[in-house]
Amino acid sequence: MEQMPKVKHVLTTKEFDRPFLDYLCNLTNRIREMHRTPEGALKLRSLWPHKRLMLYFTQPSSRTFLSFLAAGQNLGMDCAEIRDPRTSSEVKGESFFDAIRTFSSYVDIIAMRTPERNLAEQAAAHLDQTPRPVPIINAGSGPDQHPTQALLDVYTILRSFKEIGGIDGKTIAMVGDLKRGRTVRSLSYLMKNFHDVNLIFVSPEQFKMEDDILDFLRRHHIPYSETDQLKDAVAQADAVYLTRIQDEHDQMVGASAQVDYQPFYFTPAHLALLKPRGIVMHPLPRRQELDPACDSDPRVKIWRQERNGMWVRTALLHMILKNTEEISL
């Protein structure tokens, strides 16, 4: 394999370039192949048994948490967790920065999910000033970024389109709460790495994509359009990426929008409009975005996408550990 690109903290998707994505996806393929045999799986487990992964998840999570845990276990890592902030000394008044420094004393990588935006960046900047600058992986920062989800999304799209030219030249429709959906925000940044991608943002007026992402797309000459017509978008798209209304943020911003989501509910009638090689994705959990009656159509990739998360995170942890073996104590 070619030279491994450097990666330490994983905070947003802005930093990733095409060589990084290609390397990560190739490594992910190799890891999932290896894991198919007991010998291969055991070999993977023998790679990093002397390293520890901390999962600091103070916001609800099923798949991201479990897939990071499984990814660490795939590599033989020991995994520690804090999921309930009431079990952290932060309840005794310890600052977040002291807490994160404490975690860094005992582990080699910290994956963190928090309701606040930018906290992973701040944690990484803080640890970088200490003698144990352990890598931070952002596993979801409020309504802002979810970089590892975007990596597994790109992997899923690339795999689905491997016989038809990958992501280059494709039209991707992102649907739902684009304003607070961190998955689509992170995925949009990654589009700069592909040629001739066209984006369609499909949302109710209240949940349109934010200007910071639209500015980024304009700067990178990535064409996009905005609409509230799901059927039109589905007929044009190669990939349809559905998302949930992120109403857990309503309390935080004081805006409890009563939105009619029915026009954005993807049903078998939409499948009938989708291209034969088109795909449907969703980061999950789902509510009223995708009718489960669609799940058996092979173009609906949501469960593969979910499992791909474990493989991509396994590859990412391996790359980070390879790069940071020489952390000075």
What residues line the site for ligand NCD (CB under 6 A)?
63-64, 140, 146, 149, 182-183, 243-244, 283-285
Which pair of structure tokens corresponds to residue 327? Answer: 């952390």
Of 104 and 114, the one with the shorter C-beta distance to ligand NCD is 114
> Smallest distance, Å, CB 284 to ligand NCD?
5
SS3 52: strand
Of 44 and 53, the one with the shorter C-beta distance to ligand NCD is 53
- Strand boundaries in 131-269, DSSP class E: 136-141, 171-175, 198-202, 224-227, 239-242
> Smallest distance, Å, CB 187 to ligand NCD?
11
Of 48 and 57, the one with the shorter C-beta distance to ligand NCD is 57
Of 44 and 190, the one with the shorter C-beta distance to ligand NCD is 190
CA angle centred on 303, ends 57 and 313, rounded to 5°:
45
Residue with tokens 């079990």: 87
**Which distant-in-sequence residues (6+ apart) come within 8 Å of 41 by Cβ?**
34, 35, 74
> Smallest distance, Å, CB 130 to ligand NCD?
29
Residue type for position 72: G
> Smallest distance, Å, CB 59 to ligand NCD?
8
In DSSP terms, which residues pair with 193 in a beta bridge? none
Q: How far is CA 63 from the centre of its chain?
A: 11
Tell me how crowded residue 211 is: count the other CB atoms within 10 A of its CB. 9
Of 49 and 285, the one with the shorter C-beta distance to ligand NCD is 285
In DSSP terms, which residues pair with 171 in a beta bridge? 198
Tally of helices (H runs) and strands (E runs) in the chain? 12, 9
Of 108 and 177, the one with the shorter C-beta distance to ligand NCD is 177
CB 124 within 8 A of CB 113: no
Residue type for position 233: A
> Smallest distance, Å, CB 311 to ligand NCD?
15
> Smallest distance, Å, CB 140 to ligand NCD?
5
